[in-house]
Amino acid sequence: MASDGDTVFGKILRGEIPCDQVYGDDLCIAFRDGQPQAPVHLLVIPREPIPQLADATDAHQQLLGHLLLVAARVAKLEGLQSWRTVINSGAEAGQTVFHLHVHVIGGRPLAWPPG
């Protein structure tokens, strides 16, 4: 599924609304979630507006790997030794913003399974 990038994360990428950015490079940015679910809650988003993981293709293999490496990098920059990475794909999985993003959540004990 193509996307015109007209989501709240597209607006953040275009500088139309602010975010608390902690990392950025040519492929992605990372910023603090506006409604943190833990002491550390970051979002890593690609600059390319892929709506959800289900829309990723083989052409995105390198990008997807990069997002996970950046997730680990920013988690460690935040001082975390343990954390959870989450990618919700689809509304029933809890996705609310249809611009692919990796949650990085940590700083407290995390239960499993998730709700």
28 burial level (CB within 10 Å; 0-12, 13-18, 19+): buried
| Minimal distance, residue 35 CB to ligand AMP, in Å | 4
| Minimal distance, residue 27 CB to ligand AMP, in Å | 19
Give the Cα separation of 98 and 53 in Å (integer).
Answer: 10
**Near ligand AMP by CB under 6 A: residue from 19, 28, 38, 71:** 19
Stretch that binds ligand AMP, among 28-36, 61-69, 74-82, 104-112 (CB under 6 A): 28-36
Cβ contacts of 93 within 8 Å, gap of 6 or more: none
Q: How many residues bind ligand AMP (CB under 6 A)?
A: 12
For residue 84, the surrounding DSSP H or E stretch is strand 84-86
Place of tokens 């993003």: 101
Active-site residue flag, 99: no
**Near ligand AMP by CB under 6 A: residue from 8, 53, 63, 110:** 8
What residues between 40 and 99 interact with ligand AMP by CB under 6 A?
43, 88, 94-97
| 10's tokens | 């597209």
**Residues forming the active site:** 101
